[in-house]
Structure 1
Amino acid sequence: MTSPTTGRLRVDGATLHYEVRGTGPLLLLIPGGTGGAAAYDGVADDLAADYTVASYDPRGLTRSPLDDPEAGQSVARHADDAVRLLDLLSPDAPALVAGCSSGAIVALHLLTTHPERVERVVAHEPPVVEVLPDAAEHRALLARVRDTFRREGLMPAAAVFAAGLRRPGDPVEPPAAAELPPQAAARAERTMADMSYFLGRIVPSFMAYTPDVDRLETLSDRLVLAAGADSRGELPYRPAAFLAERFGTELVHFPGGHVGLTTHPAEFGKTLRAVLSA
């Protein structure tokens, strides 16, 4: 794996850690969950053969500390961070952008608010549950997660959250986790330190976010909605499928499930390359 060039960028209320590889048009990779820039380590080197590949730790994660550790979080603020990175790394040309999960929500907001900065967006399973007809059920899930977090702590709340993401009828207990490559396993261990921040402040804010669907529809020629081939029926899959049907566009299936970037990095990167060059 090639060592990236790293940098620090001051933004409003935080300092962002970012990483850059390769040359060519800018491809900004927006991480989801607690993965940070390292979430894309399995695909970044290959993509850097054709692109200047940049990723970063979103504000509040370990290497991107907040000035105020208790500051509230919003999709708009995180999208503004992405704009600042685009301005730094590609000031004169629109960029390609790809995001996974909560990072895909940021990418959607970026497209609707700064379309002049974006050539194409790939949004893999953005959990914008407010677009769904049964959104009220998912608000109730978030309330249960919040209440469990307050009463019982992080791990019980994480279990409630995970159960709410599964397909209806799936067993409450998850199947045995797939064995991850050593680097991915190490990342998973490191990012556990950020789980409290993610579940306590990112999830409630981001999953309550309602995208400007009409605006997205007018920009749908620049938007690729994507989902995991193995996650059909799961909650994070459904908003991408719903929006693709509404816009009359293809829902592109990537290898694996919601975390296919981690479990199938080579195949995920190959699909992302194909989508970007289509």
Structure 2
Amino acid sequence: MHQPETGVLEVPGARIHYEVRGSGPLLLMIPGGPQDAGVLAAPARLLSHRYTTVAYDPRGNSRSALDGEPGDQDVELHAEDAARLVAELGGGPARVFGTSGGAQIGLALAALRPDLVHTVVAHEPPCLMLLEDPSHALAQDQEVYDTYVRDGVEAAIARFLGMHGLDSDDPHHPQAPDGAEAPRDSAGSQGNGRDVDGTGAAATFARVSGNFDYFFGHGLRPLSRYVPDTAALATGAPRVVVALGRESVGQTIHGIGLALAAALATDPADFPGDHGGFESHPEDFALALERALGD
């Protein structure tokens, strides 16, 4: 497979790295938490037969450098970056896919710039404030942040994963609900580890591993505490699809997704895998995303 075209878009306060594949309607793909475009390489490649897929590194992550010192992440500022990418690369209305914190960004983009969005597929956004009682989830986020400040990144990762019953000794375990996980080997590579398009898992893993300071220090809490404008999103223009992994049933993130779907008076779409289904089941995930987009 050919490498994607890459580019850098200058935005106020940052430079956004993006990767373009294929042709057809624009599909903007937004990764979550500390992740970058590399984790979405497989579905982006699989969908490039039908769409111009554009995956990017959110500002402050990996190759999207900030111009100054990092501050707490602002979901609506992230959405402005996404809007500038849409305007730069096709003008919209674009199809938008976001996962975890990236789904929060996609929802913000749809509410703030509905003229630029045709459909947004929000895969398991961690919008904790939509829970009937978010206090426990918020306390967990605060505990992870406090662990990070007191003991550093490795301790925060272990605490975060332990809260979700995941094995912190295995770098390829399923993702935690806020995307605080390095990518699995299926992102941009095949089962034999061969890099298929120049955006392989080893390079992605190394980049994402370097983003955890920024994520724990400035992203975990603001990304989770952002409240989508459900009144604006419930109008149906643009169309909003809430995507939930079938292996996430029973987890807090699944309950959050159900709360969002209820607020929008819509039924959630069933997607393969868990919070990281786009990596563990890339082919089935790409098919589910294509169905959800409804083209």
TM (norm. structure 1) is 0.91
Instruction: Identify the structure with the greater helix proportion.
Output: 1
CA deviations 1:92-121 (Å, max 9, x no partner) are: x31100000010000011111111110000
**Superposition pairs for residues 1-278 of structure 1, below 5 Å?**
1-91=1-91, 93-164=92-163, 166=164, 171=165, 177=172, 180-181=185-186, 182=193, 183-184=200-201, 186-219=203-236, 222-277=239-294
SS at match of 2:228: coil
Could you list the per-position Cα deviations for residues 28-70 of structure 1 after superposition, in whole angstroms to 9, with x for gaps in the alignment? 0111123311111111122111111111111001211000132
Normalising by the residue count of structure 2, what TM-score does the alignment of the two structures yield? 0.86
Contact 2:144–2:160 under 8 Å retained in 1: yes
Residue 190 to residue 245, structure 1, CA distance change in 2 (3 Å) = same
Q: What is the CA distance between 1:220 and its match in structure 2?
A: 7.1
| AA at the equivalent of 1:25 | P
* Superposed displacement of residue 204, structure 1: 1.4
Higher mean alpha-carbon deviation, 56-65 vs 185-194, is at 185-194
Query: In the alignment, is the contact (CA less than 8 A) between 2:36 and 2:204 conserved in 1?
Result: no
Which secondary structure state, in structure 2, belongs to the residue aligned with residue 7 of structure 1? strand
Is the partner of 2:210 in helix, strand or coil?
A: helix
Percentage of identical aligned residues:
39
Q: Distance in 2 between matches of 1:27 and 1:203?
A: 26
Matches of 1:41 and 1:235, distance apart in 2: 27
**Structure 1 stretches of at least 4 aligned residues deviating more than 3 Å after TM superposition:** 171-181, 183-186
Is contact 2:127-2:256 (8 Å) kept? Answer: yes
Letter in 1 for 2:231: D
Distance 1:224 1:208 in 2: 20
Which structure 2 residue ranges, 5 or more long, are not aligned? 174-183, 187-192, 194-199
CA distance, structure 2, for counterparts of residue 249 and residue 221 of structure 1: 13
Report the Cα distance in structure 2 between the residues aligned to 1:254 and 1:175, rounded to whole angstroms: 27
Secondary structure in structure 2 of the residue aligned to 1:18 = strand
**C-alpha contact (below 8 Å) 1:75/1:206 kept by paired residues:** yes
| Equivalent pair of 2:32/2:103 in contact (CA under 8 Å) | yes
Q: Is the 8 A contact 2:245 2:277 kept in 1?
A: yes
Calculate the aligned-residue CA RMSD, in Å: 2.0
Write the distance in 2 (CA, Å) between the matches of 1:226 and 1:190: 27
Q: How many residues align?
A: 272
In the alignment, structure 1 segments of 5+ residues that lack a partner are none
